[in-house]
Amino acid sequence: MKKVAVIGSGFSSLAASCYLAQAGNNVTIYEKNETIGGRARQLKKHGFTFDMGPTWYWMPDVFERFFKDFGKYPSDFYELEKLNPAYRVYFGSGNYITIEDTLEKICASFEKEEPGSSLKLRKFMVQALDNYNIAIKDLVYRPGVSPLELVTFQTMKKIGQFFSTVSEDVRKEFTNPKLISILEFPVLFLGAKPSATPSFYSFMNYADFGLGTFHPKKGMFSVVDGIKNLAQKLGVTIKTNQNIEKIIVEKGKASGIISNGKKIETDIILSGADYHHTETLLEQKLRQYSKNYWNKKTFAPSALLFYVGFDKKIERVDHHTLFFDVDFKKHSEEIYDSPKWPDEPLFYASFPSKTDISVAPAGKEAGIFLIPLAPGLVDIPELRVEYFEKIIDRFEKITNQEVRKYVIFKESFCINDFTTDYNSYKGNAYGLANTLMQTAFLRPKLKSKKVKNLFFTGQLTVPGPGVPPALISGKLVAGLIEKEKK
Ligand SMILES: Cc1cc2nc3c(=O)[nH]c(=O)nc-3n(C[C@H](O)[C@H](O)[C@H](O)COP(=O)(O)OP(=O)(O)OC[C@H]3O[C@@H](n4cnc5c(N)ncnc54)[C@H](O)[C@@H]3O)c2cc1C
């Protein structure tokens, strides 16, 4: 029985731990924070409950496949509800489109906006489904070891889709700017601009319109809790408040960790902490990727988040509400091309208490606001306040109601918190973007090339950002560890 030390307790670490324990290893998770879940931690305050990170439960099939590997179903651990509407997108005051829970209904909304667009949407979705079947059912479950993993009969037929972009494809078919924004929105989860994301990633549109948006009762944290319970049943030990300060390497092999100043011996180390940070726990000569390497990479955005308790029910919003009433292109340039605090940011607001009474006291509303930002910006309290005021002004105008005076409390979370809480590179929120040059075998590797028995998982490695990819990353690395042992 091998002793495996897992650094971090995000989705990827938790998933990998389940597979490794199932394979008969003695697995211990070491998490620096007081609570588990990593970016998917939970905040509880004055009777309100907030998911601090992920709020969109997409690709339910990936979660089912994960639990099936252990003879279980998601419903053994948490209750899921399909949201209808899935979300609402505002383009101006009182001007919005609602995305409902079936393609039929979505086609009807498109047709209303732009006659003839529903036919184009159906055609677009045929390709999106085909890509979903190739990518999410197969390709993403390959460990990114060799470029040949991407060479299949099906991908060869679609080679052109790796060299055109989602943005180009959408604009070829649609002219209505609102429909364009809605169709470009799903790839934002991959961390790059739609104009830098290969067309093949239109599978995200199938995840959105074809599969729909779900809400786990009590929030995304109930998924963390579910996987934790599974892990513990499989024999995984979870230790919190354990800051790993160093990875010990002897004769080229990982042999231990220093946690809170104490040495712990182990056979194998798997880090689900951010890849860049994990390498800083090694001596310089044992790191695979240089400062320059990380500096040149396209990181997914960071974010300014507010978790707000409101002393009333908020009107004219849905569980997920997007505010695309300003120039999308300009804001994305301020994230990727000339990083700065945006002049007029797009933002996202979530009101989970619209569907889930467990997350706010009766008659009150839990609100989460998210502004995407370039990683590495200067983050000071004054700017947080300024941006809260900015978006609340717009929120009040667009939804035609007063909300500011009903704020019971607000907590913010931004670049400095991502850095201190998660050791995140430049305070990125969700890892390394999925651009063409940062796809599959071109991403940082699951296995260290320099240190034997040292492995990596999570959103900076394969397959990429998001909760479903984190679960897949955990499975991939566990498979690689088992293969190495043979
Ligand atoms: C604001 C936000 C919104 C998001 N929205 C969505 C969404 O709606 N849907 C979706 O699917 N995805 C979403 N994501 C992305 C998703 O949450 C992440 O991709 C996923 O949770 C990452 O999991 P992970 O295991 O890779 O890393 P993490 O969750 O970051 O886990 C890494 C863990 O390692 C720990 N750690 C770091 N250093 C050390 C150390 N030295 N010692 C011990 N422990 C250490 C950290 O504390 C952390 O717990 C969102 C992310 C954010 C931040």
Tell me: pLDDT of 481 over 90: yes
CA 73 to chain CA centroid, Å, is 22
Query: What's the pLDDT score for residue 162?
Result: 87
Query: What's the pLDDT score for residue 150?
Result: 86
CA distance 115 to 474: 45
CA distance 116 to 403: 39
Ligand 1 neighbourhood includes 470 CB (under 6 angstroms): yes
Ligand 1 centroid distance, CA of 40 (Å): 6
Query: What's the pLDDT score for residue 274?
Result: 98
Query: What's the pLDDT score for residue 257?
Result: 98
Ligand 1 neighbourhood includes 430 CB (under 6 angstroms): yes
Q: Please answer whether residues 161 and 131 qualify as being in contact, where contact means their C-beta atoms are separated by less than 8 angstroms.
A: yes
CATH no., domain 3-41+52-79+218-297+432-485: 3.50.50.60
The number of CA neighbours under 13 Å toward the Cβ of 45 is 17
Pocket test for ligand 1, best of 62, 269, 413, 430 (most atoms within 8 A of CB): 430
- Ligand 1, atom 33: closest residue by C-alpha: 8
Q: What secondary structure does DSSP assign to 260-284, as a single string?
A: TTEEEE-SEEEE-S-HHHHHHTS-G
Percent of the chain with pLDDT strictly greater than 70: 100
The region, left, alpha or beta by phi > 0 then psi within -120 to 50, assigned to residue 38 is left
Ligand 1 neighbourhood includes 429 CB (under 6 angstroms): yes
Among 215, 266, 189, CA closest to 25: 266
Q: Please, which pLDDT band fits residue 153 given cuts at 50, 70 and 90?
A: confident
**CATH 3.50.50.60 residue spans of the chain:** 3-41+52-79+218-297+432-485
Among 375, 291, 385, CA closest to 340: 375
Percent of the chain with pLDDT strictly greater than 90: 95
- Ligand 1, atom 18: closest residue by C-alpha: 466
Amino acid identity of residue 29, one-letter, is I
Question: Measured from the CA of 305, which atom of ligand 1 is nearest?
Answer: 1
Ligand 1 neighbourhood includes 423 CB (under 6 angstroms): yes
Sequence-separated (6 or more) residues with CB below 8 Å from residue 257: 5, 7, 30, 244, 246, 247, 248, 263, 264, 266, 269
DSSP H or E segment with residue 435? none
Ligand 1 centroid distance, CA of 122 (Å): 34
Ligand 1 neighbourhood includes 32 CB (under 6 angstroms): yes
- Ligand 1, atom 1: closest residue by C-alpha: 53
Ligand 1 neighbourhood includes 335 CB (under 6 angstroms): no
Task: Give the 3-state secondary structure percentages of the chain, helix then strand then coil, rounded to 5.
Answer: 45, 20, 35
- Ligand 1, atom 22: closest residue by C-alpha: 459
Q: What is the pTM of this model?
A: 0.98
Q: To the nearest whole number, what is the mean pLDDT of the chain?
A: 97
- Ligand 1, atom 10: closest residue by C-alpha: 466
Ligand 1 neighbourhood includes 458 CB (under 6 angstroms): yes
